[in-house]
Amino acid sequence: MLNDRRLLSRRALLGTAVASAVASVPTATAASAQSRPAADSLVAASPAPAPVRLTLPAPTGPHPLGTVSLHLVDRARVDPWQASRPARELMIQLWYPARAAHGHPPAPWMSPGAVTFFEQAQGIPSGTLLLPVTHAHLAAPVDRGRGGRPVVLYSPGLRSDRSLGTVLIEELTSHGYLVVAIDHTYDADQVEFPGGRVETFAITGDIDDALIAEALAVRTADTRFVLDQLTALNAGHNTDAGRRPLPPTIAGAFDLSRVGMLGHSLGGATAAAAIRADRRLRAGVNLDGSLPPPATDGTDRPFLLFGSDPGPGPEDPSWDKFWASQYGWKRELALIGSTHTSFTDLETLLPQAAPTLGLTPSQVTQAIGTLDPHHAIHAQRDYLRAFFDLHLRHLDNHLLRRPSPRYPQIRFLR
């Protein structure tokens, strides 16, 4: 059976609270009928409220950010979820320190064609919220640094997508990392490809141990394929399937001797399984995901377990099993007052959206926990950066050695 920690991000990532709240919102037709004045009325209808613009917290590093998306095609694999597809297709997004941002527009948080599907999945009435723009600029020239940048891959949860990790991705990028966010097609709620084609969740059957094991194997293969494509890209080859223009300075920007991986939920299990399968990955982080086999089998490379508030119950047995088999550097941290969703961008977006969606404070707390969102994001960013700085850059700020009074929300479990 599935373990206590989550392997997937719920389709309704905003939680059941949103679904119940928006269920009472009239449809567009009904709302129009209710607000339309009678023919002989002299009182104009009240104007619709302006949609609320959501924002992301600014990253704290010194580097401006650039970003570009690539369409990758693995012709060595028939798509495991859609046999009618003769090849496995992925979208990835590169986030990198930029030399300059002038003349390059800010990138949207989510690709435009995917927004409608996201709103439907989350139960968000269309037009009530304006999704964020990021702090990265589209196709800005790359600041390659000296000898290339250390690389971190990001894998989201099941029924999630790469957008939900933007807050953590931008922070790492602003401090000199090149981050590669992977969308795992058909186990994500929505993935937009060039030309506006959107592929949605297509896995059938119960989400049981067998299906999770299959999804984990697919994601591990996706990760290894992406690593191959990064090697080709770094050598100057345009690996985009449509040969869309890429920043001309992208070649040589990756230091592929320093590659780590980060994932949330099933993405965290993907990081654990992929680091075991591929020695090109030098360090990994699991954000609050259960670890089905083979992700429970440890390696000699550093790995961080970073979980939500454990509460009074016992440890997830899959984390115990991983801990016993992991013979490289290891640490387990808990973010007190958090939930599974706290490790996504919804930690900051949900409180902003709550008044518009009609959510009560208790409903927001149920979704993201009692910890103040600013403190939750601050701790996640600092501890993740400390981990990758230590193991990819050999820079030790001692944050991972022992508890710090500056971070009372972080508990060292072992």
Chain centre to alpha carbon of residue 53: 20
pLDDT band at 121 (very low <50, low <70, confident <90, very high): confident
User: Comparing C-alpha atoms, which of 110, 84, 92 is closest to residue 222?
Assistant: 92
Summarised one tens digit per residue, pLDDT across range 82-97 is 999 999 999 999 999 9
- Residue 339, amino acid: T
Write down the pLDDT at residue 12.
38
Q: Are 288 and 264 in contact (CB under 8 A)?
A: yes
Distance CA 107, CA 122 (A): 22
Write down the pLDDT at residue 127.
87
Give the residue, 206 or 50, on which the prediction is more confident. 206
CA end-to-end distance (rounded Å), the chain = 25
Task: Copy the structure tokens of residue 163.
Answer: 């957008």
Distance CA 138, CA 93 (A): 11
pLDDT band at 4 (very low <50, low <70, confident <90, very high): low
pLDDT band at 24 (very low <50, low <70, confident <90, very high): very low
- Tell whether the model's pLDDT for residue 312 goes beyond 90: no
- Residue 327, amino acid: Y
Summarised one tens digit per residue, pLDDT across range 271-286 is 999 999 999 999 999 9
Q: Are 190 and 293 in contact (CB under 8 A)?
A: no
Write down the pLDDT at residue 23.
38
Summarised one tens digit per residue, pLDDT across range 225-241 is 999 999 999 999 999 99
Write down the pLDDT at residue 30.
29
User: Comparing C-alpha atoms, which of 272, 298, 267, 292 is closest to residue 284?
Assistant: 272
Those residues with Cβ within 8 angstroms of residue 145's Cβ, 6 or more apart along the chain or in another chain: 97, 176, 253
Mean predicted confidence (pLDDT) in 373-397: 98
Q: Which domains does the chain have, with CATH numbers?
A: 59-412 (3.40.50.1820)
- Tell whether the model's pLDDT for residue 205 goes beyond 90: no
Write down the pLDDT at residue 35.
31
Mean predicted confidence (pLDDT) in 238-249: 95
Q: Are 185 and 89 in contact (CB under 8 A)?
A: yes
pLDDT band at 248 (very low <50, low <70, confident <90, very high): confident
Chain centre to alpha carbon of residue 184: 11
User: Comparing C-alpha atoms, which of 21, 48, 23, 22 is closest to residue 34?
Assistant: 48
- Tell whether the model's pLDDT for residue 41 goes beyond 60: no
Does the predicted TM-score (pTM) go above 0.85?
yes
Neighbouring-strand partners of residue 333: 306, 412
The dihedrals phi and psi of 89, each to the nearest 5 degrees, come to -110, 140
